Chain A
Amino acid sequence: MQLYIDSAKCTGCRICEVFCSFKHESAIQPAKARITVLAGDEPGRFIPFTCMQCARPACAEACPVGAITRNEESGLVSVDANECIGCRMCVQACPFGAMSYDRDRGIAYKCDLCGGDPECARMCPTGAIQFLREEVIIARRRKTGPAMLKRAAHLIEGE
Chain B
Amino acid sequence: MFPYKGYAGRYLRVNLSTGEIQTCELEPAFAETWLGGNGFGAKILWDEVGRDVDPLSPENRLIIATGPICGTLMPNSSRTEVITKSPLTGIYGDANVGGMFGPELKFAGYDMVIFEGRAPEPVYLLVEDDRVQLRDARHLWGKMVSEAQALVQQELGDDNFKFATIGPAGENLVRYASIQMTPNRSAARCGVGAVMGSKRLKSIVVRGFGKVAIAHPQEFYDIAVQAHKKLLQNEFYKPVSRYGTAGLVTLMNRMGRFPTKNFQMGSFPFADDISAETLHDRYFVNDVGCFNCPIHCDKVYRVQDGEFAGAATNSLEYETLGSLGAGIWNNNLASIVRANVMCDELGLDTISAGRTIAFAMELWEKGILTGADTGGIPLEWGDYNTALALLEQVAKREGFGGLLAEGTRRMAALIGRGAEQYAMEVKGQEIAAQDGRAQRSMGLAHVTSTRGADHLKGFPVLDETGYPSEGVRRYGTQYMPEIVDPLATRYKPMLVIDGENFGAVIDSSGNCKSGGTFVLAEIYWQEMADAIRTATGMDMTVERLKTIGERIYNLQRCYGVLHGISRKDDRLPPRFKEEPNPSGHAKGQTFDVEPLLDEYYQLRGWDVKTGIPTRAKLRELGLEDVADRLGIA
Contact = CB atoms under 8 A, between A and B. Distances in A.
Interface of A: 8, 11-15, 18-19, 21-22, 25-32, 39, 42-45, 123, 125-126
Contact of A44 (B213, B228, B293, B314): B314
Contact of A15 (B71, B107, B287, B294): B294
A44 B244 CA distance: 15
Interface stretch (B31-39, B204-212, B264-272): B204-212
B72 interface: yes
B360 interface: no
B288 A11 contact: yes
Contact of A14 (B228, B232, B287, B291): B291
B213, B214, B289, B314 pick with most chain A CB within 10 angstroms: B289
A25 B285 contact: no
Contact of A45 (B107, B286, B293): B286
B73 interface: yes
Contacts of B159: 39
Contact of A13 (B212, B225, B293): B293
B199 to A, nearest CB: 29
Contact of B289 (A12, A45, A123): A12
Given A28-B73, A44-B285, A44-B286, A13 B214 contact: no
B292 interface: yes
Please report whether the interface of chain B is mostly helix, strand, loop or mixed according to DSSP: loop
A29 B212 contact: yes
Interface residues of B, number: 35
Given A19-B73, A22-B217, A31 B107 contact: yes
A137 B314 CA distance: 32
28 contacts: A11-B288, A11-B289, A12-B183, A13-B289, A13-B290, A13-B293, A15-B292, A15-B293, A18-B291, A19-B73, A21-B211, A22-B214, A22-B221, A27-B211, A27-B212, A27-B214, A28-B72, A28-B73, A29-B107, A31-B107, A31-B208, A31-B210, A43-B285, A44-B286, A44-B287, A44-B314, A123-B228, A125-B228
A35 to B, nearest CB: 14
B312 A43 contact: yes
Given A15-B292, A43-B183, A125 B217 contact: no
B212 A28 contact: yes
A109 B175 CA distance: 50
Given A18-B292, A44-B287, 18 more contacts: A8-B286, A12-B288, A13-B289, A14-B289, A15-B292, A15-B293, A25-B211, A28-B71, A28-B107, A28-B211, A29-B107, A29-B210, A29-B212, A31-B107, A32-B211, A43-B285, A44-B300, A125-B232
Interface string B202-240: 000000111111100100010001001000100000000
Contacts of B294: 13, 15, 125-126
A128 to B, nearest CB: 10
B299 interface: yes
A45 B312 CA distance: 13
Nearest to A125: B294
Interface in B347-375: none
B604 interface: no
B302 to A, nearest CB: 9
B105 to A, nearest CB: 13
A44 B314 CA distance: 8
B338 interface: no
Contacts, number: 85
B314 A30 contact: no
A159 B76 CA distance: 49
A29 B286 contact: no
Given A11-B296, A22-B217, A30 B107 contact: yes
Task: Rank and list the top 9 A-B pairs by shortest CB-CB distance, nearest first.
Answer: A13-B289, A44-B300, A125-B294, A29-B211, A11-B289, A44-B286, A27-B211, A31-B209, A11-B296
Nearest to A23: B221
Nearest to B75: A15
Contacts of A15: 228, 289, 292-294
A44 B210 CA distance: 26
Contact of B73 (A8, A11, A18): A18
Nearest to A25: B211
Interface string B60-101: 000000000001110000000000000000000000000010
A61 B622 CA distance: 65
Contacts of B183: 12, 43
A67 B291 CA distance: 35
Nearest to A17: B292
A27 B213 contact: yes
Nearest to B312: A43
B393 to A, nearest CB: 27
A21 B86 CA distance: 39
Nearest to B71: A28
B66 to A, nearest CB: 13
A13 B289 CA distance: 4
A19 B294 CA distance: 13
A26 B214 contact: yes
Contacts of A30: 107
A119 to B, nearest CB: 10
B177 to A, nearest CB: 23
Nearest to B217: A26
A45 B300 CA distance: 9
Contacts of A28: 71-73, 107, 211-212, 214
Contacts of A8: 286
A33 to B, nearest CB: 11
Nearest to A122: B225
A44 B285 CA distance: 7
Contact of B314 (A13, A31, A43, A125): A43
Given A22-B217, A28-B72, A13 B291 contact: yes
A126 B212 contact: no
A45 B228 CA distance: 23
Contacts of A43: 183-184, 285, 300, 312, 314
Contacts of B217: 22, 26
